[in-house]
Amino acid sequence: MDVNSERARERELQRALFYFLALRRVISAELSETVMDIRRRESKTEASNREKRINEKNQVNQESFIEELAGEFRLPITHRVTENVDLEDVEQASLDTMISSSNVGFRLLQKMGWKGKGLGKQEQGITEPIKSGIRDRRLGLGKQEEDDYFTAEENIQRRKLDIEIEETEEIAKKREVLAERELKIESDVKEIRKTFYCELCSKQYRTVMEFEGHLSSYDHNHKKRFKEMKEMHGASSRDDRKKREQQRQERELTKMADARKQQQMQQNMQEDPENVPVPLPAKTTLAPLVVQDQRKSLKFGFSSKSGSTSKSQSKSSIKKPKIAIASVFGNDSDED
């Protein structure tokens, strides 16, 4: 029984401690919130007090400034502006009349220490304002300047053209000097740019960097290699052309010789038809044609056919040779 009672007491004590700690936490949280609220209120009140003080100072300053500016002139609150205002007693500001002592700006300047003399340490400033022309208020600055430009005496009359102006000796000399100078400049520029001209690509460059970049480019090197290849193949093609021309000339000469022989034969037949010599066959001297890229003929097929091909070759070799028969008209058809 004693043990159970002790355990029950311990449990009660633990519960009491737990409740105490929970209450303590709640109370501390509430206290901190109340303290924060108090501080916020105090800060707000201080800020509002500061604002009030600043506003009061500003109001006092404004009132004092208005009083100083207004002076004796004051209008009641119930004042209403009338339409037809009497401006006889009103003073109009102008550059011709001096500012009176009752002017607000004049009073402010005197308050700041101005005594009617020039500004600066040595009082070297101007005492009178710079006068400017009266401007029409309906026009802006740009429009007024435009109107002044077009209405000026210099621009009212049309400017004479170069053709209308009579050319004197001085004007002619100046024109010649300018033309010579321009030509000289152009020639100098051309001579300078000659060094930066690529004849192969027919392109003109202005600076060294551009020209060097072009020389190292793919386009320039490709054209250069293509030109070298053309020159190499051109030499061989020239030789071939020369050979072909020689062969053609030889053929033409042989044809001309045969034609002459035929004419002589015809004349002899007309004169003495009985004593006509038997014409010998004309020997054609043909230049050997240059056969390029001769290749060996390849034979395809089975062994049985090879025998037939050999037989056909032997038969063709056994054939009788053709006998050349002399003709009156020559061998032009064969040569052609």
Residue type present at position 194? K
Query: What was the pLDDT predicted at 185?
Result: 93
Residue type present at position 282? A
Mean pLDDT of the chain: 76
Averaged pLDDT for residues 223-250? 85
| HEC assignment per residue over 206-237 | CCHHHHHHHHCCHHHHHHHHHHHHHHHHHHHH
Q: Please answer whether residues 198 and 220 qualify as being in contact, where contact means their C-beta atoms are separated by less than 8 angstroms.
A: yes
Higher pLDDT, 279 or 227: 227
| CA dihedral of 269, 273, 275, 276, whole degrees rounded to 10 | 40
Query: What was the pLDDT predicted at 184?
Result: 94
Q: Where are the domains of the chain?
A: 1-66, 178-235
Query: What was the pLDDT predicted at 71?
Result: 60
Give the lowest-confidence range in 176-180, 249-253, 307-311: 307-311
If you average pLDDT over each of 62-66, 266-270, 303-307, which comes out highest?
266-270
Averaged pLDDT for residues 155-166? 76
In angstroms, the CA 69 to CA 106 distance is 11
| pLDDT tens sequence across 262-287 | 988 888 888 776 655 555 554 444 44
Higher pLDDT, 306 or 235: 235
Averaged pLDDT for residues 30-42? 84
Which string of DSSP letters, residue by residue, matches 274-330? Answer: SSPPPPPPPPP-PPPP---S--PPP--S-HHHHHHHHHHHHHHHHSPPPPPPP-TT-
Query: What was the pLDDT predicted at 143?
Result: 83
Residue 329: which of 241, 263, 247 has the closest Cα? 263
Does residue 182 carry a pLDDT above 90? yes
For the whole model, what pTM was predicted? 0.24
Does residue 77 carry a pLDDT above 50? yes
| pLDDT tens sequence across 110-150 | 888 888 888 888 888 888 777 776 655 677 778 878 888 88
| pLDDT tens sequence across 188-216 | 988 888 888 998 898 988 888 999 999 99
Residue 129: which of 119, 115, 144 has the closest Cα? 119
Averaged pLDDT for residues 292-318? 50
What band does 80 get if pLDDT is binned at 50, 70 and 90? confident
| pLDDT tens sequence across 290-304 | 444 445 555 555 555
Query: What was the pLDDT predicted at 136?
Result: 56
In angstroms, the CA 64 to CA 159 distance is 65
**Percent of the chain with pLDDT strictly greater than 90:** 12
What band does 78 get if pLDDT is binned at 50, 70 and 90? confident
Query: What was the pLDDT predicted at 334?
Result: 45
**Percent of the chain with pLDDT strictly greater than 70:** 75
What band does 316 get if pLDDT is binned at 50, 70 and 90? very low
Query: What was the pLDDT predicted at 186?
Result: 92
